[in-house]
Amino acid sequence: MRDEILEQPGVAARLIGDRRDAIAAIAAAVRARQPDYLVISARGTSDHAAIYAQYVLGARHRLPVALSTPSLLSLYGVAPRFANALVIGISQSGASPDVVGVVAAARQQGALTIAIANDPRSPLAMTAEHVIDLGAGPERAVAATKTYTGELVAIALLSAALSPDPAADAALLLLPEALARATDAEPAVRRVAGDQASMTRCIVLGRGFHYATAREWALKLKELAYVLADPYSAADFRHGPLALVEPGFAVLAVAPSGATSADLVALLTRLKAEQGADLLVLSDRAETRGLGRWALPIPPDLPEWLVPIVSIVAGQLHAYHLTLAKGLDPETPRHIGKVTLTR
Amino acid sequence: MRDEILEQPGVAARLIGDRRDAIAAIAAAVRARQPDYLVISARGTSDHAAIYAQYVLGARHRLPVALSTPSLLSLYGVAPRFANALVIGISQSGASPDVVGVVAAARQQGALTIAIANDPRSPLAMTAEHVIDLGAGPERAVAATKTYTGELVAIALLSAALSPDPAADAALLLLPEALARATDAEPAVRRVAGDQASMTRCIVLGRGFHYATAREWALKLKELAYVLADPYSAADFRHGPLALVEPGFAVLAVAPSGATSADLVALLTRLKAEQGADLLVLSDRAETRGLGRWALPIPPDLPEWLVPIVSIVAGQLHAYHLTLAKGLDPETPRHIGKVTLTR
């Protein structure tokens, strides 16, 4: 798993270098169809890439994005009407029948379909009209890492191709180096993980673009370190769950500079001062990191929409080292396998 | 709060009796516009009503439903293009600026808009073109109960009006009595809550129509009993979080008969036999209840799409009595208030 975390700069560099033309052709097909909205079908880690797409394609192209509910088709036998929709399936393995089913129904109805997968010969890739092959190489660890950031890079490349802009293209080229710098946090991560070795539950906060990172960080903590990590948008968290936080309760926060910063800083300040939360703050901004009992850096100077691609690296390393600190093996999480086939 | 839980049969009866004509007129406006898809803007408990709508309107009318991401507008300043969309805002208070903002942007763009709220003079109700007034009377408890089931009844009535069907109309009339029977479980709920008084974390499972109940039950446990209750679709749960469950780990499940039953029963059987989970099973089916260390009933003989309106009652009572069993006061949860204004 650690090897695959460290492979991420190379995976991103290859995607950015090799997939531009293929993605430009897909973007041209999307522009030709002018979809009213998007539906994304995905599960688990790939569902967090779908959440990233919800914000990136919403903020940069004003596209409403629905996350599909595959059981409507797989259990209730009802295919939604996909009139004027673009339907994207995202899956590392490309194998889960419920995810494939949504894309198959959409294509049968004549909707434009795209698969994002790490196996161009998988059922998902064979089902969709267009395919973005992540080319991340085999992912052997049960916990997905390089395919997650690969999925995010693919979505960012699609966004850049939909509205060509030299600034976006230049920013994308910064990603491999920023991913490499994100792994520099490993010694700091190891110290934090050592301090938190007895943690059994926590909240993970993020908002907007950074909600995807909160969700994915929480999933890694659950599947590897068996910490019941509950992710929340900072807004939804105020509608009730805030009551949970008592002195010493661990709250992890993805709080980079940008549009969500003031909201997160206000909430974290309150959680610390009034409720005694033990904060772990992930930010590029030193002042925000200063709110935390613990803090981890995000490499600076990326535009906000690309930050989730690098901010998750500290989360991956944190879950990995917390698992080791608990005396568990991150390579063999109990009860789960690499490919999950849900119906 | 308990009084308001017990008011739910009356709230449902009034909605079904008094709002049919208004909702029929709204349904006629929806049919006239033939929207391609829906966007729903909501937070907290009302967001779980939105999830119910996602399944009901998907399964019964083949409508794709997107849950809106209000921060795109409120923090990033970007209004999605709502071409050919029906946009619904759901809120007990009708006051939260981010939820109102989405509906305002949609109406300004000419999209059809509906507010579902308990205050017809609230900003949300004044913003939308059409309003379904819950008429639930003032809700005084911080934890929403009767407005949640009221929101679900409003959505069910809208669905019935969109595709008139005598069987659906007849089934709706069963709801007040079924809600009353659901409260009969209170003595059993109190015993379960007593056994679980030391619980600090749990998983709550549901799928399809019943995922909304899992989400809402978990929220009640968080905001009242300070239990870190993490809700999952049974499918997404297999994609990683399954690893969390060790002997004695509490898993609560919404597992009624119907399309999701076989999937839930298979998962619960595994969680019990292979992972030693302590199951609390909510079902109308005695055989499914038999899987649990604890079990609670759902009134039988409702069509599956209406079950979520009554299944949450046991969850509300469970959260209420678990709060008492922990020596806490369900009327005064710490740190939160009745109306949460998020931006």
In chain B, which residues have their Cβ closer than 8 Å to the Cβ of A43?
A: 235-236, 239
Q: What's the DSSP call for residue A165?
A: -
Q: Which residue of B has its CA nearest to A36?
A: B83
Task: For residues B74 and B70, give the distance between their C-alpha atoms in angstroms, rounded to a whole number.
Answer: 6
pLDDT digits (tens, 9 = 90+) for A256-279: 999 999 999 999 999 999 999 999
The whole-number pLDDT of residue A121 equals 97
Nearest to A261 by CA among A282, A232, A238: A282
List residues bridging with B113 in a β-sheet: B87
Share of chain A above pLDDT 90, in %: 95
Q: Do B259 and A84 touch (CB under 8 A)?
A: no
pLDDT digits (tens, 9 = 90+) for B244-278: 999 999 999 999 999 999 999 999 999 999 999 99
Per the structure block, which two tokens stand in for A108?
Answer: 């049968």
Q: Which residue of B has its CA nearest to A106?
A: B64
Q: What's the DSSP call for residue B8?
A: H
Distance in Å from the first CA to the final CA of chain A: 27
The whole-number pLDDT of residue A340 equals 84
Q: What pLDDT tens digit does each residue of chain B (343 aa) get?
A: 999 999 999 999 999 999 989 999 999 999 999 999 999 999 999 999 999 999 999 999 999 999 999 999 999 999 999 989 999 999 999 999 999 999 999 999 999 999 999 999 999 999 999 999 999 999 999 999 999 999 999 999 999 999 999 999 999 999 999 999 999 999 999 999 999 999 999 999 999 999 999 999 999 999 999 999 999 999 999 988 999 999 999 999 999 999 999 999 999 999 999 999 999 999 999 999 999 999 999 999 999 999 999 999 999 999 999 999 999 999 998 888 888 888 8
Kindly tell me if the per-residue pLDDT of A248 is higher than 90: yes
Task: For residues A47 and A90, give the distance between their C-alpha atoms in angstroms, rounded to a whole number.
Answer: 8
The whole-number pLDDT of residue A309 equals 98
Q: Do B80 and A64 touch (CB under 8 A)?
A: yes
Task: For residues B311 and B217, give the distance between their C-alpha atoms in angstroms, rounded to a whole number.
Answer: 10
Average pLDDT estimate for A314-331: 97
The whole-number pLDDT of residue A5 equals 98
Kindly tell me if the per-residue pLDDT of A338 is higher than 90: no
pLDDT digits (tens, 9 = 90+) for A64-119: 999 999 999 999 999 999 989 999 999 999 999 999 999 999 999 999 999 999 99
The whole-number pLDDT of residue A343 equals 85
Q: Do B207 and A260 touch (CB under 8 A)?
A: no
Kindly tell me if the per-residue pLDDT of A339 is higher than 90: no
Residue A258 contacts by C-beta under 8 Å, 6 or more apart in sequence?
A208, A209, A304, A307
The string of DSSP letters for B285-306 reads -HHHHTTSSEEEE--SS--GGG
Interface test with A, best of B45, B55, B86, B222 (most A CBs within 10 A): B222
Whether A272 is catalytic: no
Taking the CB of residue B135, how many other CB atoms lie within 10 A of it? 14
The whole-number pLDDT of residue B173 equals 97
Q: Which helix (H) or strand (E) holds B90?
A: strand B85-91
The whole-number pLDDT of residue A274 equals 96
The whole-number pLDDT of residue A337 equals 87
Helix (H/G/I), strand (E/B), else coil: B253: strand
The string of DSSP letters for B41-53 reads E--THHHHHHHHH
Q: Which residue of A has its CA nearest to B218?
A: A241
Task: For residues A4 and B30, give the distance between their C-alpha atoms in angstroms, rounded to a whole number.
Answer: 50
Task: For residues A76 and A199, give the distance between their C-alpha atoms in angstroms, rounded to a whole number.
Answer: 40
Q: Do B71 and A243 touch (CB under 8 A)?
A: no
Sign of CA dihedral B19, B20, B21, B26: positive
pLDDT digits (tens, 9 = 90+) for A170-210: 999 999 999 999 999 999 999 999 999 999 999 999 999 99
Q: Do B81 and A62 touch (CB under 8 A)?
A: yes
Among the options A220, A222, A326, A338, which is catalytic? A338
Q: Do A336 and B45 touch (CB under 8 A)?
A: no
Kindly tell me if the per-residue pLDDT of A42 is higher than 90: yes
Phi, psi of B34 (to 5 degrees): 45, 65
Interface test with B, best of A238, A260, A322 (most B CBs within 10 A): A238
Among A45, A64, A260, beta carbon nearest to B82? A64
Among A43, A59, A239, beta carbon nearest to B235? A43
Taking the CB of residue A287, how many other CB atoms lie within 10 A of it? 10
Q: Do B335 and A228 touch (CB under 8 A)?
A: no
pLDDT digits (tens, 9 = 90+) for A113-150: 999 999 999 999 999 999 999 999 999 999 999 999 99
Cα-Cα-Cα-Cα torsion A156, A162, A165, A167, nearest 10 degrees, comes to: -10
Q: Which residue of B has its CA nearest to A56?
A: B72
Taking the CB of residue B106, how many other CB atoms lie within 10 A of it? 28
Q: Contacts by A186-190 with C-beta closer than 8 Å and gap 24+?
A: A186/A317, A186/A321, A188/A296, A188/A297, A189/A296, A189/A314, A189/A317, A189/A318, A189/A321, A190/A321
Q: What is the count of residue pairs from A and B with beta carbons less than 8 Å apart? A: 208
**pTM (two decimals):** 0.97
The string of DSSP letters for A173-237 reads TTHHHHHHHHHTTHHHHHHHHHHTTT--EEEEEE-GGGHHHHHHHHHHHHHHH--EEEEEEHHHH
Distance in Å from the first CA to the final CA of chain B: 27
In chain A, which residues have their Cβ closer than 8 Å to the Cβ of B45?
A: 239-240
Among A62, A69, A143, beta carbon nearest to B55? A69
Interface test with A, best of B75, B211, B230 (most A CBs within 10 A): B75
pLDDT digits (tens, 9 = 90+) for B59-118: 999 999 999 999 999 999 999 999 899 999 999 999 999 999 999 999 999 999 999 999
Q: Do A54 and B69 touch (CB under 8 A)?
A: yes
Assign A336 a pLDDT band (cuts: 50, 70, 90). Answer: confident
The string of DSSP letters for A54-116 reads HHHHHHHH---EEEP-THHHHTT--PPP-TTEEEEEEESSS--HHHHHHHHHHHHTT-EEEEE
Kindly tell me if the per-residue pLDDT of A47 is higher than 90: yes
The string of DSSP letters for B194-238 reads HHTTT--EEEEEE-GGGHHHHHHHHHHHHHHH--EEEEEEHHHHH
The whole-number pLDDT of residue B290 equals 98
